[in-house]
Structure 1
Amino acid sequence: MKNVTDPTSGKGIVKNSRVKKPIIKNSIIKNREELLSHGLVKARKSCLDIIEYALNEVDPYHATHRAVQLHQEILIVDNQEYDLKTIDHIYVIGAGKATFRQAQAMDEILGDRIDEGVVVVKHGQAKPLNHIKILESAHPVPDQNSFEASLEMIRLSKKAKENDLVICLMSGGVSSNCCYPVDGITDADKIEMNRLLVHCGAQVTEIMSVRRHLSKIKGGRLGLMIQPATCITLTVSDAIGDPLEWNADWTHPDSSTFQDAVDILHRYGLWDKIPARVRDYFSNFTKEKETPKSLGNGKFQYCMTIKTIDLWKAAEMQSKKLGFTPYLLTSELKGESREAGRVLCSIAREAHKSHKLFDIPCALIATGETGVRIHGEPKGKGGANQELGCGACLDLTPEENIVVGAIDTDGTDGPTDYAGALTDGFSVNRAQGMGMDFHRELMEHNTSELLKNISDIIYTGHTGSNVNDLVVILVS
């Protein structure tokens, strides 16, 4: 037992340093009434309840408070102690769609001990904090704010000296929120590269491998700037399997190579489409262009406050409470979004038809991250989870008691303001009744408009979290 400072009152209270801060359940889905106005209402409500419970369980604010405590002048991070009396200055840096809630917690925990802090989030997420400046930039394609924000990260990193402490907050979205191109590559080149990469259908780790080799801060390069200061990186995982290097991108050595990046560009047919300066850069390898494979004797600690397992475990728990036997189909969901949805739903249809695969009623759960490959100009807007939900219901009939919920846990699926989709066997018929060709709208990537018209789009606003995508299929 240790005497630990209560992060909300600042008063010393006696409790175990690893005790969990109580989680207050919030209503996250804003348009529940509309989503429950049609179709398989009872199952749709259960699906939304499972999704909402899971989102509450992966709130970075509470996770940060669980991982980090302050006992007088001793900072405890994942059971590792730091004597703040030996620290000259504390700096907080960070970027990503889950970092505002992390920053909010660190602002409360450290208070006036923070000498300076800058954290970058997606447009629309920022709220004022007392000791950390919050900046906004674009996602999934960077804007000018992204480049200006990266200069702030570099400035603070280089400002840190040997007896200083840098706390680095990271989550998914960091690659767009902060960009700083290598010499010879322009801001416009980086923006075009991001646009090409997010539309090519590549896996997230492949996209990041290319980005790292065009960046002065990614792939551990910012970690080199932070040295010789001590650096604590707090991450919220959004990568399949929770690999540390993909989640601590600024401060962790890079396992991908320069040649990997070149191969990925060829693999997805991008080599002839990328800007000429980028193609020239990748055509001439030099040792200096490779990302660091080691950070030497640097003083680094890494703490993953939320893992992807926390997301599907929460969905599993709530499914049981609602009377559905949960089955994790995969925690490594990948592939083309609409096709992944169709395959997942074919498994649900077999379970509904034969009752041999699973105990009915059941909840089939999948987490991961699918992608959308766009050829030419899309008709409208959409996102991976919206396409997955649309693909999943293509073969469903009203007689099948199957509901599909698919969301991006940050609340903004792709370049849209919507979290995902809630569909069932009535979805296609509803669209047809409104004169819409469901399949054609899906193929033309106009899923946001399609789902809005049939009241099957999920709206949460920014959740403050960003783990994996979550798919819940209920078979009643």
Structure 2
Amino acid sequence: MFDLESLLSHGFVAGRRIALDIASHALQAVDPYGAVLRHAEVRGGRLSIDDDTFDLARFERIYIVGGGKACYPQAVAVEQLLGDRITDGFISVKRGQLAPFMQRMGRLKRIRVAESAHPVPDAASLQAGREILAIAGRVTGGDLLICLTSGGTSAQVIAPVEGISMPDKALVNRLMVHSGADITEIMTVRGHLSRIKNGQLAAQLHGATTITLAVSDEKTDSLMWNTDWMTPNGTTPADAVRIAKAYAVWERMPESVRRYLSSHEGSTPPPAATPALHQYMVVKTRELFDAATGRAAQLGLTPLPLTSLLSGESREVGRVLAAVAREVAHSGQPVAPPCALIATGETSVRLTNGGAGEGGPNQELAAGVCLELEADANIAVLALDTDGSDGPTDVAGALTDGTTPLRAAQAGVDLPACLNEHSVSRALSAAGDAVITGPTGTNVNDLVAIVVLPDAA
């Protein structure tokens, strides 16, 4: 998955090697394909998921729908379980994922698949929404619908409310993603402009038995935020308005959006899910945190699990994490080297100048760390977006140390200037520290692993 030859050809190699090892094991722990098959099995015509069992013979038809950056491996596992029992299905994956997935996992036989855009939706995202709604329109009370959800669904599958165009919805996404808002705040705004989000798809299924298999990309592993099509999140249009104003994007939103949300500010949250709805979290982002921490211990390091709720402005979070790592190296507090500082969560980049080059939150975090380090520090940091795409780039993240700024400068690139311009991909690539994985097949929270070794390392 990682280009070890390139990433280990320079810098603080011992620490970099350990950070990559930790990340590799953590990613294996959150593989959606394996997770579905651990949670579910079919035996004697019965589908068992965790402690629940469903008699497949009682369903007239079985449909599969899904979206997100981890839904293809889920779909492969579901086809393996159900085979020809599947009547029809449709999933949408991120553009650029399909060819690598088919090469690694094979073609889907019963479930149709299309690509659409992320993080800003496009016309294919709109068509994906139509496909999902078409299947919803066909199901009846005697059918089984299995919904596969993971991070990215909100952009890859859209169904705007009447009066909101696809370009308007895309602009809302772009404004919110670049505002610095937390993912749940972004989902709140987007959800109140949709005919399927915030639990609204569940209300259109005509009493069909519905199973959701979710891969979490939300810090607290809340089922509510990870099953957006089926579960209302308890917010209202008034909350969406408040959030847009708080992040100073309200006045920049399309008039159609402001008019719609303002006219529905008095609305109450949608009703809760129906009894025919069964929801399962097959991959939790907490498993990423625990696996990384556990692997550090296996490698003989003292793990320091900092937080599974990492958030904030990416470069500033990086500076804080650098200060903790430097304290460890300087005083042996709160733990002594050799150790690994582990954090998961999701930081954000707020664009204030209206534009940016190529970069992403994990790249800015790793850049923020290395700019605080001496060139000879025995500290290496890996910041990784677990789906293999950090922000709107093909870069998964970055592996940096105190030599990164110097190597970038030797290549003729000013890393601090790139960070200020939100174009760190160029500098990190020039330094040889951009991490390229391709689509990983999973999508939980971001992972930060900072390795601190003794001076003799």
Give the TM bin, normalised by the shorter chain.
Answer: over 0.9
The CA distance in 1 between the partners of 2:97 and 2:386, in whole Å, is 14
Contact 2:380–2:452 (Cα < 8 Å) also in 1: yes
Q: CA deviation at 1:399?
A: 2.2
Q: Aligned letter for 2:229?
A: W
Confirm or deny that 1:418 pairs with 2:395. Answer: yes
Of 272, 290, 293, which residue of structure 1 is paired with 2:271?
Answer: 293
Match of 2:311 in 1: 334
Match of 2:200 in 1: 221
Q: CA deviation at 1:55?
A: 0.8
The CA distance in 2 between the partners of 1:291 and 1:130, in whole Å, is 39
Of 233, 237, 245, which residue of structure 2 is paired with 1:266?
Answer: 245
Q: Aligned letter for 1:67?
A: H
Match of 2:292 in 1: 315
Contact 1:227–1:298 (Cα < 8 Å) also in 2: no
Gaps (5+ residues) in structure 2?
none
Match of 2:93 in 1: 121
| Deviations, residues 120-156 of structure 1 (Å, cap 9, x unaligned) | 1101222330111111100000010000000111111
The CA distance in 1 between the partners of 2:82 and 2:270, in whole Å, is 31
Match of 2:159 in 1: 180
Q: CA deviation at 1:206?
A: 0.3
Question: How many residues are matched?
Answer: 446
Of 416, 423, 440, which residue of structure 2 is paired with 1:446?
Answer: 423
Match of 2:74 in 1: 102
Match of 1:393 in 2: 370
The CA distance in 1 between the partners of 2:235 and 2:354, in whole Å, is 31
The CA distance in 1 between the partners of 2:382 and 2:371, in whole Å, is 14
Please, what TM-score do these two structures have when normalized by structure 1? 0.92
Residue 379 to residue 207, structure 1, CA distance change in 2 (3 Å):
closer
Contact 1:213–1:291 (Cα < 8 Å) also in 2: no
How do 1:465-476 residues align onto structure 2 when only pairs under 5 Å count? 465-476=442-453
How do 1:267-286 residues align onto structure 2 when only pairs under 5 Å count? 267-285=246-264
Q: Aligned letter for 1:200?
A: S
Of 215, 233, 237, which residue of structure 2 is paired with 1:236?
Answer: 215
The CA distance in 2 between the partners of 1:320 and 1:227, in whole Å, is 50
RMSD, aligned CA: 1.2
Gaps (5+ residues) in structure 1?
1-27
Q: Secondary structure at the match of 1:251?
A: coil
Match of 1:70 in 2: 42
Contact 2:414–2:427 (Cα < 8 Å) also in 1: no
Of 353, 359, 377, which residue of structure 2 is paired with 1:376?
Answer: 353
Of 331, 337, 362, which residue of structure 2 is paired with 1:360?
Answer: 337
Q: Secondary structure at the match of 1:470?
A: strand
Of 120, 131, 137, which residue of structure 2 is paired with 1:158?
Answer: 137
Q: Secondary structure at the match of 1:93?
A: strand
Contact 2:413–2:430 (Cα < 8 Å) also in 1: no
Q: Aligned letter for 1:395?
A: E
Q: Secondary structure at the match of 1:167?
A: strand
Q: CA deviation at 1:376?
A: 2.4
The CA distance in 1 between the partners of 2:271 and 2:446, in whole Å, is 30
Contact 1:212–1:291 (Cα < 8 Å) also in 2: no
Q: CA deviation at 1:286?
A: 6.4
Q: Aligned letter for 2:272?
A: S
The CA distance in 2 between the partners of 1:435 and 1:271, in whole Å, is 40
Contact 2:329–2:336 (Cα < 8 Å) also in 1: no
Contact 1:228–1:298 (Cα < 8 Å) also in 2: no
| Deviations, residues 71-97 of structure 1 (Å, cap 9, x unaligned) | 021110112000111111100001000
Q: CA deviation at 1:291?
A: 4.7
Confirm or deny that 1:325 pairs with 2:302. Answer: yes
Q: Secondary structure at the match of 1:347?
A: helix
Q: CA deviation at 1:414?
A: 0.5
Would you identify which runs of 4 or more consecutive aligned residues in structure 1 move more than 6 Å? Answer: none
Q: Secondary structure at the match of 1:221?
A: coil
What is the identity percentage for the equivalent residue pairs of Structure 1 and Structure 2? Answer: 47
Contact 1:403–1:422 (Cα < 8 Å) also in 2: yes
Q: Secondary structure at the match of 1:411?
A: coil
Q: Secondary structure at the match of 1:101?
A: helix
Please, what TM-score do these two structures have when normalized by structure 2? 0.96
